[in-house]
Structure 1
Amino acid sequence: MPIRLCKIALTAASVPFLLLVVFNNITDYGSNYAFVEGVLKMDTTFEGNGAMWRSIDSPWVYHVFYATIICWEFVSMVILGMGVLRLYKARGKSAAEFNKAKGLAVLGLTVSMLQWYLAFLVVGAEWFLMWQSNSFNGQDAATRMFLTMGISLLFLISKDSELES
């Protein structure tokens, strides 16, 4: 049972993290909105870059992007929270039942990983050239979160036969 509890605990740690991310994005809307605006405007990328045609100069689009990010984080958190509860309820059951209970937690971690990868690294860093900005560069944080969630996911999906012996 200790390995199962470790899997549950590591997976569960992402729930309060995402809760704080959502909370911070809502309660400090202006600071984080400025980040989204800066990335989409591309006004801190290298001077004279040939991809400036991609920049967006529309406040309503910034709000839509930012609201989408917050909703994505919230949905990931809810799915993951439900998955952790399911895992906890299955902690003393057979390996087959515990492995079957992993589904929602796997989905929650994957949805979160997709956000860090797709929204921040693909769209933000590559499409809007966030990597060129000294002011609005979230690549390191996004990579860190992608890897943290990914390591948790790999540990969680490892075959569980702890109680079978």
Structure 2
Amino acid sequence: MVNFPRNTLLLASTVLTAVLALYIALVALGNITDFDNNQQYVHHVLAMDTTFKDDDLMWRAITSKGLQDTAYVAIIVWETVAALVLICATWLWIRRDHTLARRFTTYGTLMLMLLFGAGFLAIGGEWFAMWQSEDWNGLDAATRVLLFSGVVLIVAHLPSDRAEVTRPR
């Protein structure tokens, strides 16, 4: 029988981790099943072909299809691993192994914060000037994931009287 947490903070940590795990698993699945369409997004962002094409910035563009495809596959692998880590964290929250659950939640949320914060907002948005593109601008979506991941991370680390009680091994 599965023991669901009675403490509301632990319940919130479990549910938020599960929702984030579901979300990123669906994102990874979408990138795999709709590979060509999402691949075009990465190609256009890295090629910078829908930006203002300022000569001072265009030297940053990556036009090699091989490098673009490698970047896209790396994104999918990173998303998939993050989803698996968060699914594991959810299972650990349900099993009341709070110390490990918190650790895996931290790993998963930080993976997403690196991908969506450093990868999409900083590198995609600023380095490759994605903000200039009307068609291939993913900054709003990246911001949502970054903020949601941050909320999950914060909630998972809020102090709780019962949060430190770990299931015996």
Normalised by the size of structure 2, how large is the TM-score? 0.88
Q: What value does the CA root-mean-square deviation take over the aligned residues?
A: 1.6
The Cα of 1:83 is off from its aligned counterpart by 1.2
The Cα of 1:68 is off from its aligned counterpart by 0.5
Match of 1:85 among 76, 81, 91: 91
What letter corresponds to residue 44 of structure 1 in structure 2? T
The Cα of 1:27 is off from its aligned counterpart by 0.8
The C-alpha deviation readout for 1:9-30, integer Å capped at 9, x for no partner, is 1111111111110111011111
Equivalent residues of 1:98, 1:160 under 8 A apart: no
- Residue 130 of structure 1 aligns with which residue? 130
Please state whether the residue corresponding to 1:13 is helix, strand or coil: helix
- Residue 56 of structure 1 aligns with which residue? 62
For residues 26 and 111 of structure 1, what CA distance do their matches in structure 2 show? 19
Equivalent residues of 1:22, 1:74 under 8 A apart: yes
What letter corresponds to residue 108 of structure 1 in structure 2? G
How is 1:72-111 mapped onto 2 (pairs within 5 angstroms)? 72-90=78-96, 98-99=98-99, 101-111=101-111
The C-alpha deviation readout for 1:22-75, integer Å capped at 9, x for no partner, is 111011111110000000110111143411001111111111010010001001
* Identity %, equivalent residues: 35
Structure 1 stretches of 4+ with a deviation exceeding 4 A read none
Count of paired positions: 158
- Residue 158 of structure 1 aligns with which residue? 158
For residues 61 and 47 of structure 1, what CA distance do their matches in structure 2 show? 20
2:35 is equivalent to residue 29 of structure 1:
yes
Please state whether the residue corresponding to 1:137 is helix, strand or coil: coil
Structure 1's unaligned 5+ residue stretches are: 91-96
Flag the 1:157–1:42 CA change in 2: closer, same or farther, 3 A: same
For residues 146 and 114 of structure 2, what CA distance do their matches in structure 1 show? 8
Equivalent residues of 1:11, 1:152 under 8 A apart: yes
Please state whether the residue corresponding to 2:59 is helix, strand or coil: helix
2:149 is equivalent to residue 143 of structure 1:
no
The Cα of 1:98 is off from its aligned counterpart by 2.6
What letter corresponds to residue 57 of structure 1 in structure 2? T
